[in-house]
Each structure stands twice: as structure tokens, then as C-alpha cells.
Chain A
Amino acid sequence: MLGLLWLIPAIPFVSALALAVLPVPRKLVAWIAVGATAGSAVVSLLVAIAFLSAPPAANSYTQVLWTWFDVGGLHPEIAFYFDPLSLIMTVVAAFVSFLIHVYSTEFMIDDEGYSRFFAYMNLFVASMLTLLLADNLLLLYLGWEGVGLCSYLLIGFWYRDPANGQAGRKAFIVTRVGDTAMAIGFFLLFHHLGTLRIQDLMQRAPLHWQVGSSAAVAAALLLLGGAVGKSAQLPLQTWLPDAMAGPTPVSALIHAATMVTAGVYLIARTHVLYSLAPVAQSTVAVAGAATLLIAGFSALTQWDLKRVLAYSTMSQIGYMFLALGVGAWPAAIFHFMTHAFFKALLFLAAGIVINAMDDEHNIFRMGGLRTRLPFAFWTFTIAGCSLAGLPLVTAGAFSKDWIIWGAWSAGNGSPAFWMVGLIGVLLTALYTFRMIFVVFFGEAHTEVTKRPGLAMQVPCFVLAVLSIVAGYVKTPFGRFLETVLPWSEGTHAGAISELVSEVIAGLVVAGGVYMAYIFFLRKRSYTAALAASAAGDALHRFWLSDWGMDWLYDRLLVQPLIWFARVDKSDFIDGFYTGVARLNEFAWSVLRRTENGRLRWYAAGIAGGSVVFIAVVLFL
């Protein structure tokens, strides 16, 4: 059964190719696309069951298909590696992809680019699964760039609006900055360790490098560059909010559930390297902690429903990075799983709302949808509770409490990280319930024009169930994952117990929900008064613009480049070569005059020339 592993990425790839090349009739498109992701999900489940029921030797299974190429000692193989980490990531990614494809069949039904959409989506799924299953870093890079390409294509899916194309290019270029760093990291690893197979690298790295050696730190930091680019963490996070220009299912699948967590996967996959480079690992934690706060504050001020969710995604991935940075590896992967469920659901429910409001994104023009879109209300609330981490009943609570506990107790944990985690919990509860209260309560502003059909409701329902029950597998999940990602226990773990940490987090959530209730439902005048004050207004604008990061990058990088391009419009290197050409032209026009057809001129020229020539030979 394990031998079917290659089918997981192959099925959606073939389907994407078929949809892109063949003139498939519209009716069939949905069947092919959904069928491919369903096949992929089923195969991944079968392989996972086979793996769990009879774990292979060494707790991993490698399937070598063929050697990609063989040149200069580098011979990467097309090979897939299956271990507990890739098992969890693959199954979650394949399953969520399947659900979102089902949802998209109805969501995109009126779109003229129906088959184009599904071709891109299937290609994305194939690339994502290749990334997760890759046995070597080069194949991982192929998947990594593949998902980046699909992200670009799908953000700019409605390409007739230039703003969407702009957003797509921004996402592509900003992530490319990180990817370049990552590629250099790969070169460094290959140069020092002589291989790109991830497992060999992880075995050789501790033999070649001391803890804290500069090469290990450099390699780890360069890989981190790729990870922060893809996962929209500080300082490369600016592309994600703009990426919301794509269709909502794309935001759910690519920019919430799967692709943006690729950075988390990369760091978890190469965690040995980060253990060798404590500096890099601390950087991971700090980047995550900073992003989770910055994005949390920004989410509080956004008025676009999808942008709130985008900032929330950045904030939650910040939690995952925090967990990775402190050494609580399984907690990060667990949060990836629960986040994939509830954040995908939030986007899908938001898609229902946006569709029903005739493409209205402004939450302040919604309101009162509780009774008119009850299905969206319930699913959104369940996912929102999970996101906020309502204790005991939601999956998000289990994973987030685990991270917060890890921030205190794990190897690199500290009370400071723990506090950041708790502030993040307060922010999450605030912005989540702000959305819920503003969108679904209060008085109605806009008419509901459309109601979701079965294809949109069923995936939401499944994800809603998962957003609640997925948390209960925490203990077996942790035990299963710790075979590959050992949790490192810190020194000051004993000061408070896990239970105390969870209770505190639960109280913070309750406080946040209550605050949101006061500010956004009960006494809207408080919020208005706060926003009207000078400091409040300044902060509001600062946070609304994502802490001025876009402005900063615009001034620091974009404007100078545009200025230089304008100055160098006629390209001074080109100018040099044009000058050479002009000089030749001038010389030609002078010499041309000597060719006048007068025989006597020629004779005189020859005579004069030979006199000069002989003189030169004789006297020089």
C-alpha cells in the first residue's frame, strides 16, 4: 500500500495538465478537478493507514522513482519521503484541498475562467504535495516554486482588474526575495555537506558542524529567509493582505490552510539544523512573536473581511513560528492542522457572506446576518471560536494552549514569549469577535441576494466538525510526532504547570470576548469615541496600514528603483554602444567621400600611400 505514495501528487498533476491542454466541457471540469483531489486525498489516507498499522523500519518510507539528473556529484532523485511529519501534513493538505475544491465548484460556477481556475488549483495541489513529500531539497524547491507560481496565477485570477495583477506580482516578488535566500542556503548546504537529501543532511550536519558554528547559523538563517517569505512573517509579510485579491477559495486553500504554512514545514523538516544554530532558532521565535503581535493589532483595525482574516493568518503562523523557535515542534505542527481546518472554514464562510452580499467586503456594510444567513453564522462562529481558542470545546484552544505552554516550558522558552503568546490570545479573541459581532449582529445594511447551495454547505459542515473535534487527538498526535520531532524540555518548566497556563489562557480569551462584546456590540459609542481621539485615530491609521510597512518598503525600495529606472530610461550602457556605432557612422561618412570614381585621385592615393608606407618602414 505504501507503494501508492507517488500517486498522491501525480493524480492532481495529470488532472491539471488535462484541464490546461484539453478542451474539457464545462460540466466535466468540476468532476475531473474534484475527482483528482478526492483521489489524492483517498490515496493519502490509504497510505497513512498502511503506515500507521504497520510502521516500516526506521519509522519512515522512501520511494525512489528515478534519478532526476546526475551532474558534478549532484544527483537528486525524484523520490518521496514519508514519515510522521509528512504524513500529517500530506493528509491534512490533501483533505482540505478536496473540501475546498468541492466548495469552489459552486462558488466559481458563473466565472468564465472555470476550467482555468481548476487547472491552477490542481497544479497547486500537486506542487504542494510534492513539496511536502519531497525527499531532497531540490524536489522540495520544485514544489516550493510551483506553489509560488500557482499563488501568483490565482491572486491575479481576475486579471482584468490591474489591481489584482499588481497584488499577484507583489506576492511573487516579495516571496522571491525569501526564495533567493533559501536557494543560497541550499548551495551552502550542498557545498559543505555534499548532498541535498534531507535525511542525509540532517545526519551529516551534527557530524560536520559544532553547535553554533557560523556555517550552520548561516545555512539556518538563509533557509529561514525562504520560510518567512512564504509564510508571510516579519519582515516579508506585506504581500499576504494584498493576496486577498484572489477568489475566496484561493485565499482559503493557498493563503490560509496550506501554502503559507510551507515555511513552518521547512523549519520543522530541517529542525536538526536549527538545533545546531541557536541564534537562528531564537530568530525564528522572535520573528514569530513579533509577527503575531503586529498582525494581531493590524487585524483589529481592518474593515475588509478578508483582510482581517489575512492578518489573522499571519498572526496564527506567527504562533507556529514561535513554537518552532522555542523548540515545541509538535505544537507547531498541531497548530498547523487545527489552523488549516478553522481558517479554511472562516474563509469559506466569509465567501458565503461575500457572495450573498453581492461581492461586498466591508464588514460595516454587513450586519444583522445572523438570522438571514444562519448557516454562515454558525459555521463562522464555530471557526471563530476555534480561532480565538475558546477553551475545552474547540480545536484551536488545544493547539494554541499547547504553544503557549511550550513558549514557557520548552528548550528556548521564556516568560517573555509566554506573555507575548497571551497578549496574542487577547488580540485574537478581540478581532475575531469584532468580526462576528459586526457582521452577524446589529442591524442589517445590505440585502442578501444569494444563499449557499449544497456544494458550499457540505465542506463547511465537515470543516466545522473538524474545527471542534480535531483538538481531542492532541495526546496521541503529540506521541506520534515526537518520534521525529522531539520536544525539548526547558529548565524553568516547573514554575507553573500546564494546567495553570491553560486556565490563564482561557481567562484571557473570556476577557477578550467580553471586551469585544462591550466595544463592538453593546456600546459602539465607546469605539467611536476611541477612534475619534487623536491618539486613537493615529494608532488606527498606523495599524490599518500594517504598521507602515508597505509605506516603508515603498520609500526604501520601490521608489528608488522607479527613480533610477526613470533616470536610466535610455540606459547608459546602451548609450556607450550607441556612441561606438555613431563614431563608426561618422568615420564612414568621411571615408565615403574618397570614393569618387576619379582615376587620378586613386592613382595619387596609391602613390601617396606608398610614399608614406615606405617612409614609415625606412625611418621608424
Chain B
Amino acid sequence: MRRNLIFILMSIEIMLNGTGVAFVAAGSRWGQPDGQIMFLFILAMAASEVAVGLALVLRLYRHHPTLDADAVSDMRG
């Protein structure tokens, strides 16, 4: 499995795009507009998610100069 935080974030983006495509395809199959509306929501959510996510990664990089996800496991509550 990947350890690089940037790669993890990118993978999440790809997963979200995958669901978006699935929604659009399903909407066109049954002739419903809901699929496209759902895709717009997912787009907005993905944009905000990646903004927050990247901000956190930047912040984290100040403390731990690495992108390894396991290196920051001492942050568990």
C-alpha cells in the first residue's frame, strides 16, 4: 500500500471521480437528471476536500519533513 500522503489524496480524488462517473452513467441510463446533480455535489465536495487536505499536508510538513503517512502515527489521540 502507498505511504505517500500526496498519492493517498490523489487516490481519493480518483475514487470520487469514479463515483461521479458512475452517477452520470446511471442518470443517462434511466434518463434522470439526479445523476448529474449528484456529480455537481461531488465535484464541489472534492474541491473543498482537496483544499483542506492539502492545507493539512502543508501544515504537517512543517513538523515532520516527510510525506510518509506512518511517520505521523504518534498523533493518535
A: residues with CB less than 8 A from B are: 595-600, 603-604
Fill in one digit per residue for B48-77: 1 if any A CB lies within 8 Å of its CB, else 0. Answer: 000000000000000000000110111111
Q: Chain B nearest CB: distance from A603 CB in Å?
A: 8
Q: A residues within 8 A CB of B77?
A: 595
- Pick the contact of B75 from A597, A600, A603, A604 — CB < 8 Å? A597
Given A600-B69, A600-B70, residue A595 in contact with residue B3 (CB < 8 A): no
Q: B residues within 8 A CB of A595?
A: 76-77
Chain A residue at minimal CB-CB distance from B1: A600
Chain A residue at minimal CB-CB distance from B3: A600
A437 to B70, CA, bound (A): 102
Q: Which of B3, B72, B76, B77 has the most CB of A within 10 A?
A: B76
Q: B residues within 8 A CB of A598?
A: 69-70, 73
Q: A595-B76, A597-B75, A599-B70 are in contact. List 11 more A-B contacts (CB 8 A).
A: A595-B77, A596-B73, A596-B76, A597-B72, A597-B74, A598-B69, A598-B70, A599-B8, A599-B69, A599-B73, A600-B70
Q: A residues within 8 A CB of B74?
A: 597
Q: B residues within 8 A CB of A596?
A: 73, 76
Q: B residues within 8 A CB of A600?
A: 1, 3, 69-70
- Find out whether the CB atom of B76 lies under 8 angstroms from the CB atom of A597: yes
Q: Chain B nearest CB: distance from A427 CB in Å?
A: 85
Q: Which of A596, A597, A599, A600 has the most CB of B within 10 A?
A: A599
Q: Chain A nearest CB: distance from B22 CB in Å?
A: 14
Q: Chain B nearest CB: distance from A597 CB in Å?
A: 3
Query: How many of chain B's residues touch chain A, expressed as a range?
Result: 10 to 19
Q: A residues within 8 A CB of B72?
A: 597, 599
Fill in one digit per residue for B20-34: 1 if any A CB lies within 8 Å of its CB, else 0. Answer: 000000000000000
A598 to B8, CA, bound (A): 13
Q: B residues within 8 A CB of A604?
A: 1
A144 to B73, CA, bound (A): 73
User: Closest 4 CB pairs between A and B?
Assistant: A597-B76, A597-B73, A599-B69, A598-B73
8 A-B pairs with CB atoms under 8 Å apart are A595-B76, A597-B73, A597-B76, A598-B69, A598-B70, A599-B69, A599-B72, A599-B73
Chain A residue at minimal CB-CB distance from B12: A603
Q: Chain A nearest CB: distance from B14 CB in Å?
A: 14
A600 to B8, CA, bound (A): 9
A459 to B61, CA, bound (A): 101
A598 to B76, CA, bound (A): 8
Q: Chain B nearest CB: distance from A442 CB in Å?
A: 92
A598 to B73, CA, bound (A): 5
A597 to B76, CA, bound (A): 4
A596 to B75, CA, bound (A): 9
A604 to B8, CA, bound (A): 12
A53 to B42, CA, bound (A): 105
Q: Chain B nearest CB: distance from A605 CB in Å?
A: 13
A603 to B74, CA, bound (A): 17
Q: A residues within 8 A CB of B76?
A: 595-597
Q: Chain B nearest CB: distance from A11 CB in Å?
A: 71
Q: B residues within 8 A CB of A599?
A: 8, 69-70, 72-73
Q: Chain B nearest CB: distance from A559 CB in Å?
A: 57
A600 to B77, CA, bound (A): 16
A572 to B1, CA, bound (A): 52
A599 to B73, CA, bound (A): 7
Q: A residues within 8 A CB of B70?
A: 598-600
Q: Chain A nearest CB: distance from B35 CB in Å?
A: 20
Q: Chain B nearest CB: distance from A604 CB in Å?
A: 8
Q: Which of A595, A596, A600 has the most CB of B within 10 A?
A: A600
Q: A residues within 8 A CB of B75?
A: 597
A179 to B21, CA, bound (A): 84
A603 to B69, CA, bound (A): 11
Q: Chain A nearest CB: distance from B32 CB in Å?
A: 22
Q: B residues within 8 A CB of A597?
A: 72-76
Q: Chain B nearest CB: distance from A339 CB in Å?
A: 81
A392 to B73, CA, bound (A): 107
A600 to B70, CA, bound (A): 8
Q: Chain A nearest CB: distance from B11 CB in Å?
A: 9
Chain A residue at minimal CB-CB distance from B2: A600
Q: Chain B nearest CB: distance from A198 CB in Å?
A: 71
A595 to B77, CA, bound (A): 8
Chain B residue at minimal CB-CB distance from A603: B8
A598 to B77, CA, bound (A): 11
Q: Chain B nearest CB: distance from A595 CB in Å?
A: 6
A599 to B69, CA, bound (A): 6
A596 to B3, CA, bound (A): 16
